[in-house]
Structure 1
Amino acid sequence: MENRLQMEVAKVSMLNDLDTFSNNYSIRVKIVSMSKKMVNDNKNEIYCLDMIFMDEMGTMIQASCLHKMLGKFKDLLQLDECLLITKPSLAANKSSAKYTKRNDKISLYFYTSVEKCLDWSGPKYRFNFVNLKDVVKNKIEVNTVIGILDWLCGVCFNLEDTSKKDVSKGKGLNLRVKDLEGQKCPVTLWDGFAIDMFAYMNDKKRKKYVVILCHFGMVNLYKGKRGVANGFELSRLFIDTDIEEISSFRKRYVEKISSSSSSNEHVGSNVISSVEDEFLNNLDFMLIGFLGTISTTKKVLVLGTITAICTDKLWYYNVCNHCKSGVEERFVTKENADGSFNVDHAKSLLKHEQSESLDVPDSYSLSTPVDLMKD
């Protein structure tokens, strides 16, 4: 009995050793991601089950099972399940998005057999960290699938309604995250990911510092800004899950802000309705009188109210409300519209660049609010 088991173990191949010219082998894998493709005419019927397999060495490969084989395997094909698969098919990966470094994929077909694996010795997860700075600084191309990002969620905006290419409706959620180095990056989550994240952020029992991991995320360009989004297929989102990577990140972040002189009890993950609210509720604001206490080079926002204009100083001038060009007041002589020889002296504003006069109503005076620009 022991010799037979040893022979079976010897037959198991690692994913890096697979040969496309043969299917007479077995693999021991864990399903680390899963996505269902539904039939267009029947949203309750699965057309294909897409997966990502990981072997005990941490190597990953895309896999699929068509609807005609799901009846045979569906009870075994579960997320995070460990399986022993014999005689799968290996072919070129023609998927539009490549979620692993391999150019081939595994398919389960009629001669394939699948059973639960009870002696898994591989890792629970395999995360390859990517720096946020590489995403923001254009070091990773748009639409590139990336392994994992480890973030603290700083700001979560409102859930939004979206329209898809197939005219169906969806949900979108914008986040602003940062890593341990303080690098910030916009993140966009779609559909189920957006709904789950928004619900968690509004849960009164959630943790103060919300840490998320996006497995198989994608670099994107959204509203002119480089960031990250979940893919519509095989991405996986971990929100404050009890795994070592998240626990370690939160511990290091808390230690860092605790040792920083700028830390305070208000720091944490926030839910706000809009970018304008974020600006008005920014906890980094300080009174003008305290600007001299800043000891490090940084950008600051000064929010104040204009209470008076010193018109005897040379640092200001009037500008056009539309084009912002500098203007000056002049009295001009205009002929009457009736063609008579009488003339009218009217007040006008003259642009500096185009020398184009702008008529000013009789009620205009220097007390009228105007736009100002520094010279």
Structure 2
Amino acid sequence: MATSKITFIKDIDPVNSDFTIKVKVLKLWTLNSKFNENEKYSIEMILLDEQGSLIQANVFQNLFYKFEKSLREGSVYEFTTLSVAKHNPHPKSTIFSDLPNKITFIRETELKESLNFPKNVFGLSFVDFQKINSKVIPTQRSVDVIGVVVSRTTIIPSQKKDKQRIHLELKNLDGVLLKVTLWGHFANKVSDYLDTHNTDDCVVIIVQFAKINDYRGNIGVASYYDVTTVFINTDIDEIKQFREKLAKDNESSQLSGTISLIRTKHVSLNDDFLKNNEVKTIYKSKEPVQVEEFIIVGTIIGIRQDKPWCYQSCPDCHVKAVEIPDCNEDVKLSLLKFLSQGFFF
């Protein structure tokens, strides 16, 4: 591949595919097919240029043979001849870049590795805690946050390693608190650090590419699979600058290294299911007709062998699709009204 003039990410022209970018593969992961969970559908990437700009990129399955073995997270490449189009993510997808476009590798795309890239560029763009807490930022948009750890839980265990978690509270320079949940190996990383280091000094944490959580009105952020990056008291410019501002703050003395422990009550899945939900008989569950969460207790008296062990449902909201038999319009309307209440048998 001949040496070409490098185009920065913010200067990419979507109409022209004949350009060269020099970028670091900041994050790399795969998406599986929605039809076959064991089949890879695409390679997804977050690319970072020397100016700190980010853009999402992907390689579809038909070109795995050309790029899959060459691409490595953390490596720097020059890419030439790429397709650029407007990014139209699924409503449930997470967006990792402010740019409206996304790059797709095509058959004509070429790459070569490069070694000359600044080490202190991470593409961090911090979001104010108050904007997250006040629900100003869409939950679809990933965020970068930085703050001092003021409280924590112990590791909340799970039989699956990626389901264990730790809850933290971070405080920013304005004194605003933010709830943070870290899952899997991120939880272990932070817990191990806090358990093995002297925290008399403030522990500053950055969570990059965090997912906003709005669970029953409680706002916070959480790690997002392996896409997230967590920095703990590392020697990078962003943490140095945060510490310098913290030292100059008149209230910085209140932000001591003391981290309070949040007490948690570990509840087993069995207890959570049985103790936190009302139990009803089948008869009592029919009235009144309203949306509720409860457990139905009954005895299985037989299993129909003529029905499959699955049913059709909407892939987005997971509501069961029910075929209405031939009947008059009044019956259909009554049945639809009944089904809209969430009663499916």
User: TM-score normalised to the size of structure 2?
Assistant: 0.63
Contact 1:32/1:80 (CA < 8 Å) preserved in 2?
A: yes
2:149 pairs with 1:153: yes
Deviation of 1:14 (Å): 2.5
1:274 — aligned with what?
263
List alignment gaps of at least 5 residues for structure 2. Answer: 266-345
Q: In structure 2, what is the Cα distance between the partners aligned to 1:125 and 1:245?
A: 10
The 1:257/1:48 distance shift into structure 2, 3 A limit, reads farther
Residues 231-310 of structure 1 correspond to what in structure 2 (within 5 A)?
231-232=224-225, 234-254=227-247, 256=249, 260=253, 267-268=256-257, 270=259, 272=261, 274=263
Residue 135 of structure 1 aligns to which amino acid in structure 2?
I
The 1:197/1:35 distance shift into structure 2, 3 A limit, reads farther
Deviation of 1:143 (Å): 3.8
Residue 121 of structure 2 aligns to which amino acid in structure 1?
K
Residue 88 of structure 1 aligns to which amino acid in structure 2?
L
Q: In structure 1, what is the Cα distance between the partners aligned to 2:55 and 2:174?
A: 32
Contact 2:79/2:112 (CA < 8 Å) preserved in 1?
A: yes
Contact 2:168/2:180 (CA < 8 Å) preserved in 1?
A: yes
Contact 1:156/1:201 (CA < 8 Å) preserved in 2?
A: no
Residues 124-158 of structure 1: per-residue CA shift (max 9 Å, x gap): 22222221122223333444322x21111111212
Residues 1-375 of structure 1 correspond to what in structure 2 (within 5 A)?
8-10=3-5, 12-37=6-31, 47-66=41-60, 69-70=63-64, 72-74=66-68, 76-95=70-89, 96-120=93-117, 124-146=121-143, 148-161=144-157, 170-204=163-197, 208-222=201-215, 224-232=217-225, 234-254=227-247, 256=249, 260=253, 267-268=256-257, 270=259, 272=261, 274=263
Residue 196 of structure 1 aligns to which amino acid in structure 2?
K
- Percent identical across equivalent pairs? 24
Residue 248 of structure 1 aligns to which amino acid in structure 2?
Q
Residues 163-186 of structure 1: per-residue CA shift (max 9 Å, x gap): 99xxx9722221111112221111
Contact 1:170/1:190 (CA < 8 Å) preserved in 2?
A: yes
Q: In structure 2, what is the Cα distance between the partners aligned to 1:175 and 1:224?
A: 18
Question: SS in structure 2 opposite 1:202?
Answer: helix
Q: In structure 2, what is the Cα distance between the partners aligned to 1:271 and 1:180?
A: 19
The 1:36/1:193 distance shift into structure 2, 3 A limit, reads farther
Judge which range, 14-23 or 209-218, deviates more: 14-23
Residue 136 of structure 2 aligns to which amino acid in structure 1?
K
Residue 270 of structure 1 aligns to which amino acid in structure 2?
I
Deviation of 1:63 (Å): 0.9
Aligned residues: 261
The 1:52/1:169 distance shift into structure 2, 3 A limit, reads closer
Question: SS in structure 2 opposite 1:149?
Answer: strand
Q: In structure 1, what is the Cα distance between the partners aligned to 2:119 and 2:258?
A: 34
The 1:241/1:86 distance shift into structure 2, 3 A limit, reads same
Contact 1:161/1:169 (CA < 8 Å) preserved in 2?
A: no
Contact 1:56/1:123 (CA < 8 Å) preserved in 2?
A: no
- Higher share in strand: 1
Q: In structure 2, what is the Cα distance between the partners aligned to 1:58 and 1:137?
A: 28
Residue 224 of structure 1 aligns to which amino acid in structure 2?
G
Q: In structure 1, what is the Cα distance between the partners aligned to 2:78 and 2:252?
A: 49
Question: SS in structure 2 opposite 1:144?
Answer: coil
RMSD: 3.5
List alignment gaps of at least 5 residues for structure 1. Answer: 277-375
Q: In structure 2, what is the Cα distance between the partners aligned to 1:39 and 1:82?
A: 28
Q: In structure 2, what is the Cα distance between the partners aligned to 1:129 and 1:169?
A: 26
Contact 1:28/1:85 (CA < 8 Å) preserved in 2?
A: yes
User: TM-score normalised to the size of structure 1?
Assistant: 0.59
Contact 2:81/2:108 (CA < 8 Å) preserved in 1?
A: yes
Contact 2:40/2:61 (CA < 8 Å) preserved in 1?
A: yes
Deviation of 1:51 (Å): 1.2
Larger radius of gyration: 1
2:340 — aligned with what?
none
Residue 243 of structure 2 aligns to which amino acid in structure 1?
R
Contact 2:146/2:205 (CA < 8 Å) preserved in 1?
A: yes
Deviation of 1:255 (Å): 5.7
